[in-house]
Structure 1
Amino acid sequence: PGMALNLPAPTLADAQTTAALAFRMMPVQQTGSFASTPTLPWTRPLDDARTKPGACTTNWDALRTSLAATRVADGNRADVVSYGLLPTGMPVNVTGCGVGGLGSARWAAP
């Protein structure tokens, strides 16, 4: 389908900066404890069409499946929210997707 993407991964510091928004929007612990897992290689753009109104796209669903496998490999802890932070230049149609303590969105530099 399209050209493969090769974008630099966001850093742990980028995740810490981005978390401030999550702390304002969600009822979560207000002091973060951050860790990063190995970078998940992902080359598919996320700008494909939604599967239905309000749903994620096929490529977002595939990314969530890959992120879920990473979470399982990391211990699948119920007390941890796993979040995939995408590079700023990642083409997206949906700004982010998530379910059940697992989500992902594009990093937005302050």
Structure 2
Amino acid sequence: MNYIPVHVLENKSLGNSSNNGVSVTNFNNLFAQVEGGNLSLEDVQNRGGIILELVERKIGANNYKHFAPKTPELEGRWTMFGGCFISASDSRFSKTYGNYPLALHDRVE
């Protein structure tokens, strides 16, 4: 698998509530894994990029998906939704993750 750049969507009237998460500090350097992506892991690392990992949870009868940054400083820490979503205009994103933006859990307290 390879990667593509993704963008952050946030509510302009409410602002970003991530507590300086990656949606603020690295909003233009985030990448998601997709089949047939144009960037390798090495390319992303050379750019100093942050990989967003898909997290899937089943709560009751419902399945939930969100992204979480995969960084050493967040390893083992609980991340929360900070009000931002991830999407990309690249059709490979929607083929991999569906037609809707997914929540980004990048808030840590």
TM-score for the superposition, normalised by structure 1: 0.32
More strand by share: 2
TM-score for the superposition, normalised by structure 2: 0.32
